[in-house]
Amino acid sequence: MASHPPSPGTSTLLTIGNVVTIGLQLYRRHAWEYLKLGLMAILWLLLPLIGTIVLLIVASQSQSPGLIVLAIVLGAVGFTYGTAHYLAISAAISRRSFYALTQQDESLDDTQRYVHKRMWGFWRIGFFQSLLFLAIVIGIYIVAVLVLLAIVFGVGGASVFQGDPEAFSDPQSAMIIGLIFIIVFVLLVAFIGYLLTWLTARFMISEMGYAIEESTPALASLGRSWQLTRRNARRVVLGIMMVFLASLPIQVLLQLLIGAASAGLTLALPDEALAADTPLFMLISYSLGTGVGVVLLPLWQAIKAVLYYDLTERREGRSLDLDVSDRPSTPSIQQWLNHVTLLTPESVELDFTLAGVGNRSWALVLDYIFLIGGLFLFWLGWGWMSTALLDWIEDLGFAYDSAWIWVLAIAFLITFIIFTGYFVLFETLWQGQTPGKRIMHLRVIQDNGQPVTLGQTTLRSLLRPVDDLLLIGALLIALGKREKRLGDWVAGTQVIQEDYADPRLKLEISPSARTLARNLSPSMNLDRLSPAQFVTLREYLQRRLLIDTQIQKELRLNLARQAKVLVQLEQVPEGVSADQFLEALYVAYQGNAR
């Protein structure tokens, strides 16, 4: 008899929070290499710009039109060449990240030679993408202006053109026209913001196909990004927001360094020398500002590589292959996430996946949205109640000049209680979950795996302002292997991901496949199907509706051929489709394992 089939386990598909977390893990493990590449890329972008500025200053001082034109031409050529290098080196970071993710060997020199040969292809991708965005933005704003003009002249202009020039001077008419204008303007701004964000998501990985796949032409890489992000644009938008939240501590830290350097320079130099040394002041600030780009560029490129991997898995199912004889055994993508193994009092080992900064940042944003909404309602109600109370006290003839101070102090005290109590209440009653954590499928547990206590949730909540306002928590989570913020270390807790059934992964078995399984079971050697191959079979049956239609057709035929040889089945009955056979094999293996 075959061994028991493996438990459902974790799919190779990633949540968008885990995409960000794995990108951070790649960054951490290859930080020195990525930072060197990031510095090279930024310098290629900035040095031509600085050189152009210097040439323009020299040309303007000589007051020679010919030199000014020459400086502009040389600057344009230098900036174009530098941009091509910048894009190529950025793609090198993504290629290195993707190869590290998929356990493929390629030296840094080979990577640099590869992207250097394709440098102008990356420039064409960036150029045509910029043209596309520019054309869309111009079109959007032209339409927006026409709509707003149509509203103004359509509502109030009719009277003007009909001989009533006082139409706009009527306060009531002007107010109505202004209100309509504001509403439409807000709707247009929201629509434009949504459209531009959606387009950014669709072209988020525009250079990845060209950077990783030798067979993909430069401009075809734009179409590949459009294809892979189809039905996944919302996930990519969430990923962009998560990257911003995850990188916020780095940006704040670097901005603090810029501010400290500026303040130190201001204090060190006398007032009369400060004006003369303004270029030095600007150079220091500019250099530190450049450091922000050097640090964040590799992070974005690493996350792009993980996103590209995940989207190709969703659309093409590249890892779905039953033939494992010639393939090296590579760890699952989930192995890039930090895990913790806990021993229960019953001596049972439990393996948990830690939540990661991507999931936790988004869960916190959701909690703050709910919390701010509740606090807004409280302040509205408190304002109405306190006003009525003070009016009542005044009507009674009492005059307390400081009463409003007490009302405000009580309001701030209640606000603090609501802020702290929100996390304490939910994490205690819902066994370590708040609404945000429940939506993101996260849970707080003790370090020994037990549910959190009231005291622990209180400690975590009291230390949250320190973790959030000073961004200490995000840095500790992103840089620490245990992924704990200060509140977790003090309270002895950790945040884990919960296993949950992804609603998009549907495993449906047709009745005809069950009948076919009973008929074919005696003719198949099911012991030859390993548990790992069974997992691959199950993943295909779960994910087939997510895979691109044409690729799904090729994939199921390939899997069916491999499975037929693997279980030593001589002939599949006529009229049986590849999907029916794979479903029947799935059912037969389960029945054989019982």
User: What's residue 436's pLDDT?
Assistant: 93
Task: Provide the 10 A C-beta neighbour count for residue 48.
Answer: 22
Question: Average pLDDT, stretch 443-471?
Answer: 89
For residue 158, pLDDT beyond 60: no
Which is nearest to 202 in space by CA: 183, 221, 184, 217? 221
Residue 19 buriedness (CB in 10 A; 0-12 / 13-18 / 19+): buried
Query: At which residue do the structure tokens 């969430």 appear?
Result: 238
- Confidence band of 191 (pLDDT split at 50, 70, 90): confident
The fraction of the chain above a pLDDT of 70, given in percent, is 81
Which is nearest to 92 in space by CA: 212, 200, 3, 192? 212
What is the arrangement of strands in the sheet containing 339-343, beginning at the earlier edge strand? 339-343, 349-354, 493-497, 442-446
- Confidence band of 237 (pLDDT split at 50, 70, 90): confident
User: What's residue 287's pLDDT?
Assistant: 63
User: What's residue 262's pLDDT?
Assistant: 65
Which tokens hold the place of 107? 């030296």
Contact 460, 493 (CB under 8 A): yes
For residue 6, pLDDT beyond 80: no
Instruction: Give the pLDDT confidence of 131-151 residue by residue, as tens digits.
Output: 988 888 888 878 877 876 776
Out of 360-369, 476-485, 504-513, 518-527, the most confident range is 360-369
Beta partners for 494? 445
Q: If you average pLDDT over every residue of the chain, what do you get?
A: 81
Which position has the higher pLDDT, 53 or 467?
A: 467
Query: At which residue do the structure tokens 């069950």 appear?
Result: 514
User: What's residue 145's pLDDT?
Assistant: 77
Residue 326 buriedness (CB in 10 A; 0-12 / 13-18 / 19+): exposed
Query: At which residue do the structure tokens 């950025």 appear?
Result: 90
User: What's residue 568's pLDDT?
Assistant: 85
- Confidence band of 114 (pLDDT split at 50, 70, 90): very high
For residue 163, pLDDT beyond 50: no
The fraction of the chain above a pLDDT of 90, given in percent, is 28
For residue 13, pLDDT beyond 70: yes
Out of 43-52, 327-336, 415-424, the most confident range is 415-424
Task: Report pTM.
Answer: 0.81
- Confidence band of 272 (pLDDT split at 50, 70, 90): low
User: What's residue 4's pLDDT?
Assistant: 35
Instruction: Give the pLDDT confidence of 396-408 residue by residue, as tens digits.
Output: 666 566 677 888 8
Spatial separation of the C-alpha atoms in residues 417 and 421, rounded to whole Å:
6
For residue 563, pLDDT beyond 60: yes
Out of 229-243, 331-345, 356-370, the most confident range is 356-370
User: What's residue 111's pLDDT?
Assistant: 94
User: What's residue 3's pLDDT?
Assistant: 35
557: CB partners within 8 A, 6+ apart? 578
- Confidence band of 288 (pLDDT split at 50, 70, 90): low
Query: At which residue do the structure tokens 């290859």 appear?
Result: 30
For residue 391, pLDDT beyond 90: no
Question: Average pLDDT, stretch 567-589?
Answer: 87
Which position has the higher pLDDT, 435 or 158?
A: 435
Question: Average pLDDT, stretch 445-471?
Answer: 88
Q: What share of the chain is helix, strand, coil (3-state, %, to 5)?
A: 75, 5, 25
Spatial separation of the C-alpha atoms in residues 337 and 15, rounded to whole Å:
12
Q: Is the dihedral of CA 527, 533, 539, 544 positive or negative?
A: negative
Spatial separation of the C-alpha atoms in residues 195 and 145, rounded to whole Å:
16
For residue 303, pLDDT beyond 80: yes
User: What's residue 209's pLDDT?
Assistant: 93
- Confidence band of 174 (pLDDT split at 50, 70, 90): low
Instruction: Give the pLDDT confidence of 206-220 residue by residue, as tens digits.
Output: 999 999 998 889 999
User: What's residue 501's pLDDT?
Assistant: 65
Strand 339-343 with 442-446, pairing: unpaired
Which position has the higher pLDDT, 156 or 555?
A: 555
For residue 175, pLDDT beyond 80: no
Coil vs helix vs strand at 525? coil
Beta partners for 451? 445
